[in-house]
Amino acid sequence: MAKNDLISGSIWDEYSNQVIRRMDEPTHQGEITEEQAKEIGGKLIVADFGAESCGDAVRLYWVVNEETDVIESSKFKSFGCGTAIASSDVMAELCIGKTVDEAVKITNIDVEHALRDHPDVPAVPPQKMHCSVMAYDVIKKAAGEYKGVDMESFETEVIICECARVTLGTIQEVIKINDLKTVEEITDYTKAGAFCKSCIKPGGHEEKDIYLVDILTDVRAEMEHDRLKNAADASAAGESSFDKMTIVQRIKVIDEILDTDIRPMLMMDGGNMEIIDIKENIPHYDLYIRYLGACNGCASGDTGTLYAIESVLKQKVDENIRVLPI
């Protein structure tokens, strides 16, 4: 493939030399016949898989030694783009010499990494990552054909991000453990949504049953429900109300609310805030704060932002709180 076959040099540079070589001269492209399988001394397995979103399809041929379950030979045919050909070629190569159970553990990430020129540089642009997913899926299809089971039986968890093979359970757990508040944070922690981005929200390359925005909303709602329940349980158990708390306890309670409801909003604009002190001025509790970053000197710090902070604290902590910036 000549460099001018692609739209621009910048697009060319997003593909590894491994991908380009296997696009033009795939090593394992072809078919295996029943006669050839008998000569090798194994069972011929033929599996087809297609991606409805892009129309690509791949056919995988295996010759499996039925005594050892080892894949003695592996070839493919691809009806798709150059990246699909390259991914299928390295996928077929990775299968050779493995047992069927070992081959099922080959992921699309393994395929993409095998196509890299450098361990830290992706082999393909993010929007083409789905091609290696198709290679992963056809392995499961072939293993299912050999074992006489449905390919879905090899998938024990719900996969949300096909590109990075990130499960629903993993995403939910990471959100809770790290108190994540944005989809960008989920991507930073798990790599879900970092490639073709279809799993982030509706309207992407492929339609999904559930998206990262849905999971984040549901988990955050669950976390808030648990927080309120714990607060109600604590109140029922006779724990101190705000007016009975020490200054340290009051600051801790307020800081938790700020972390959940206020600071993310400020940080989106490059700002933040810190608690300086809290003093009793009965019937009020005067909370002294200092704005940080972009919030320092911002006109809304004494108007809209201040009102938002005070309203949240009045609603969730104590109706007599007053917020005073210094």
The per-residue pLDDT string of the chain (326 residues; one tens digit each, 9 = 90 and over) reads: 444 444 444 567 788 999 999 999 999 999 999 999 999 999 999 999 876 555 678 999 999 999 999 999 999 998 878 888 999 999 999 999 999 999 998 877 788 889 999 988 888 887 677 666 777 788 999 999 999 998 877 766 788 987 777 889 888 988 887 788 999 999 887 888 988 888 999 987 788 899 999 999 999 999 888 888 776 666 665 455 788 888 888 998 999 999 988 898 888 888 899 999 999 998 999 999 999 988 888 877 788 888 889 988 998 889 999 999 98
Domain count, the chain: 3
pLDDT value for 7? 41
In a domain, 297, yes or no: yes
> Could you read off the pLDDT of 225-235 as tens digits, one per residue?
888 877 666 66
Mark whether 161 is an active-site residue.
Answer: no
* Radius of gyration, CA atoms only, the chain: 28
Place of tokens 């109706």: 319
In a domain, 252, yes or no: yes
Contact status, residue 199 vs residue 160, Cβ threshold 8 Å:
yes
Contact status, residue 102 vs residue 69, Cβ threshold 8 Å:
no
> Could you read off the pLDDT of 138-163 as tens digits, one per residue?
899 999 999 999 887 776 678 898 77
- Catalytic-role residue among 95, 131, 163, 199: 131
In a domain, 233, yes or no: no
The last residue of one of the domains, among 98, 121, 156, is 156
From residue 297, alpha-carbon distances to 271, 304, 316 in Å are 11, 13, 27
Contact status, residue 49 vs residue 61, Cβ threshold 8 Å:
no
Please give the helix or strand (H or E) that residue 278 lies within, else none: strand 271-281
What CATH number is given to the structural domain containing 293? 3.30.300.130
Considering the chain, what percentage of its residues have pLDDT values greater than 70? Answer: 90
In a domain, 72, yes or no: yes
In a domain, 161, yes or no: no
Q: Are residues 149 and 204 in the same domain?
A: no
pTM over 0.85: no
Mark whether 131 is an active-site residue.
Answer: yes
Q: Are residues 140 and 13 in the same domain?
A: yes
Contact status, residue 170 vs residue 180, Cβ threshold 8 Å:
no
Q: Are residues 115 and 55 in the same domain?
A: yes
Among candidate residues 123, 205, 120, the one with its CA nearest the CA of residue 162 = 205
Q: Are strands 159-161 and 43-50 parallel, antiparallel or unpaired?
A: unpaired
* Average pLDDT taken over every residue of the chain: 86
> Can you tell me the distance from the alpha carbon of 238 to that of 252, in angstroms, rounded to the nearest whole number?
19
DSSP 201: S
Q: Are residues 152 and 189 in the same domain?
A: no
Q: Are residues 37 and 144 in the same domain?
A: yes
Handedness of CA 151, 154, 159, 162 (dihedral sign): negative
Task: Give the domain extent around 265.
Answer: 240-325
